[in-house]
Amino acid sequence: MSNGDRHVVIGAGPAGLTAAWELTRRGCDVMVLEADDTYVGGLSRTQVYRGNRFDLGGHRFYTKSPRIAELWRELLPDDLLQVPRISRIHYRGTYFPYPIDLGITLRRLGLRSSAAVSASYLRAIARPRRPEASFEDWIVNRFGRRLFDTFFKTYTEKVWGMPCSEISKDWAAQRIRGLSFSSAVREVIGHRRDDDGPKTLISSFTYPRLGPGQLWEQVRDAVLANGGEVVHGTRVVRLHRGPTGVTEVETHDGNRYPADHVYSTMPLRDLAGVLEPSAPATVREAGTALGFRDFLTVAVVVDHPAVFPDTWIYVHDPNVSVARIQNYRNWSADMVQDPTTTCLGMEYFCNRGDDLWEMDDSDLLRLAASELDALGLVDAERCIDGQVIRVPDAYPVYDHDYERHRLTIRRWLDESVPNLHPIGRGGLHNYNSQDHAMMTALLAVENVLDGADHDPWAVNTEEEYAETSSGRPGAGARLVPQRLMR
Ligand SMILES: Cc1cc2nc3c(=O)[nH]c(=O)nc-3n(C[C@H](O)[C@H](O)[C@H](O)COP(=O)(O)OP(=O)(O)OC[C@H]3O[C@@H](n4cnc5c(N)ncnc54)[C@H](O)[C@@H]3O)c2cc1C
């Protein structure tokens, strides 16, 4: 089926490997260039530390696309687990259900706090904030200041690194739909449900037995078996172009790879700056204006087999910096090397260059252990080992102008570099999950090989991921906030 065209793929994450897999399956000549020395899977890789496996941030497999679900089954027929999901909010030593269930929450808060929460709600109803512009305004108007401070403010600010007063109310409106204070109070007063035991086992999710990296290693092996090449430790730094598009892809070591088609999963921000001759100043400026939130994971090995029953915990406590704690042993028992131990992932959201990002690994390990201790989850001395992974460009930021910048870059690429196909999460600056990233790759390949007219940029722009069993997005659902324009 190959017509002699050379297809170069930048990045061996989900999007790049899916493109490579589809291309090699259809007989094409494919070269994948990956910056990482060791791993495939990009943000969805599974790191291995002394036999313990952990994700950069827990990666559930969920998709609304039957095509992607079928593909996962085809690639890992025997190793896809169905994992019971237990996730709770940890706030000042008490567990609350996640997604938030106000009825249970009011009961767990006890009489005095519930009364204070109710008074704060009544004050908000009597004197609502006007105009209602920010995430904070929206929540306080509907739930009162006390609940806002307890369940919405800290976690949101940890994740996004900006005050809730600067986040647009649209995000709250999408995110908190279906929760109502008055119906919660009616529920508490009217019929008391049994409130014992973990109430947050709301669903299950799919997960590879050895973590998401298992899937991506499998896809890499399939690409190699089909005759494709995957080169590690090679960062693309320049794309040489002629009148009809990219002609050669240059890597940091000076190697040049001739190309007829290029699929790029490198951040769109970077892509706009690596073309030679360079893109117009407006396009390069649009690239540099695209922002990311960075992230780091401290993997902590604990010398105890049963630390807590949750797959992960949201940490709303303002006295610690950690935002989420994954317990990989509860995702799959095979993630842990020694069955008498546990492997936790302490997740910190940060920006490159800030205090957390710059902290020494040994200090971060100490911080993680001390925060586990302070939260009452694990005694610090039981944290026996660990590793720090810094993850740049983890979350594409959707500020007020990002759509305009994306469009500027896209229009110019379409016109001037038509054989360059941005795909994936950073590649399209889209808040994509693995399934979206894969879909953008499949669509781009069909555009090239079949002359189809798909729009990979539109994947994941219309649908919304409802993560809860009730169909409403819970706190932390995969939507992104916009910075408020004042
Ligand atoms: C904390 C966190 C939790 C998540 N949870 C989930 C989840 O539960 N479920 C889910 O489905 N998704 C989840 N995601 C999203 C998922 O990780 C991404 O959607 C997916 O990995 C995107 O794939 P990609 O190939 O587009 O990009 P990436 O995974 O970013 O891969 C890009 C690859 O390109 C390489 N690269 C970049 N620049 C260059 C260059 N110049 N030269 C060569 N190589 C380069 C990188 O090294 C990387 O390997 C999560 C993401 C994060 C950060």
Q: What is the pLDDT of residue 196?
A: 38
Does residue 426 have its Cβ closer than 6 Å to ligand 1?
A: yes
Task: Select the CATH number that applies to the domain covering 6-44+211-290+398-454 from these four: 3.50.50.60, 3.30.70.360, 3.40.50.1820, 3.40.50.10310.
Answer: 3.50.50.60
pTM above 0.85, yes or no: yes
Average pLDDT value for residue range 309-319 = 93
In short, whether 476's Cβ falls inside 6 Å of ligand 1 is no
Say if ligand 1 is within 6 A of residue 33 CB: yes
What is the 3 state secondary structure string of the chain?
A: CCCCCEEEEECCCHHHHHHHHHHHHCCCEEEEECCCCCCCCHHHCEEEECCEEEECCCCCECCCCHHHHHHHHHHCCCCEEEEEECEEEEECCEEEECCCCHHHHHHHHHHHHHHHHHHHHHHHHHCCCCCCCEHHHHHHHHHHHHHHHHHHHHHHHHHHCCCHHHEEHHHHHHHCCCCCHHHHHHHHHHCCCCCCCCCCCCEEEEEECCCHHHHHHHHHHHHHHCCCEEECCCCEEEEEEECCEEEEEEECCCCEEECCEEEECCCHHHHCCCEECCCCHHHHHHHHCCCEEEEEEEEEEECCCCCCCCCEEEECCCCCCCCEEEEHHHHCHHHCCCCCCEEEEEEEEECCCCHHHHCCHHHHHHHHHHHHHHCCCCCHHHEEEEEEEEEEEEEECCCCCHHHHHHHHHHHHHHHCCCEEECCHHHHCCCCCHHHHHHHHHHHHHHHHHCCCCCHHHCCCCCCCCCCCCCCCCCCCCCCCCECCC
User: Is the CB of 422 within 6 Å of ligand 1?
Assistant: no
How confident is the model over 347-371, as pLDDT tens digits?
999 999 999 999 999 999 999 999 9
The predicted model gives 81-103 an average pLDDT of: 86
Residue 189 confidence class, pLDDT cut points 50, 70, 90? low
pLDDT tier at 462 (50, 70, 90 boundaries)? low
* Best probe residue, ligand 1, of 8, 40, 43, 160 (max atoms within 8 Å of C-beta): 43
Same fold, 6-44+211-290+398-454 and 81-95+200-209+292-396: no
Q: Whose CA is nearest to atom 13 of ligand 1?
A: 433
CATH dotted code for 81-95+200-209+292-396 = 3.90.660.20
Residue extents of the structural domains in the chain: 6-44+211-290+398-454, 81-95+200-209+292-396, 100-190
Distance from Cα 432 to the centre of ligand 1, integer Å: 9
pLDDT value of residue 360: 98
Q: Is the confidence at residue 297, as pLDDT, over 80? A: yes
Ligand 1 contact via 438 beta carbon (within 6 Å): no
Ligand 1 atom index nearest CA of 251 = 42
What is the CA(211)–ligand 1 centre distance, in A? 14
Query: Model confidence over 133-150: pLDDT tens digits?
Result: 898 999 999 889 998 988
CA of 144 to the centre of ligand 1 (A): 37
* pLDDT recorded at residue 170: 77
Among 10, 265, 430, which residue has the most ligand 1 atoms within 8 Å of its CB, making it the best to mutate?
A: 265
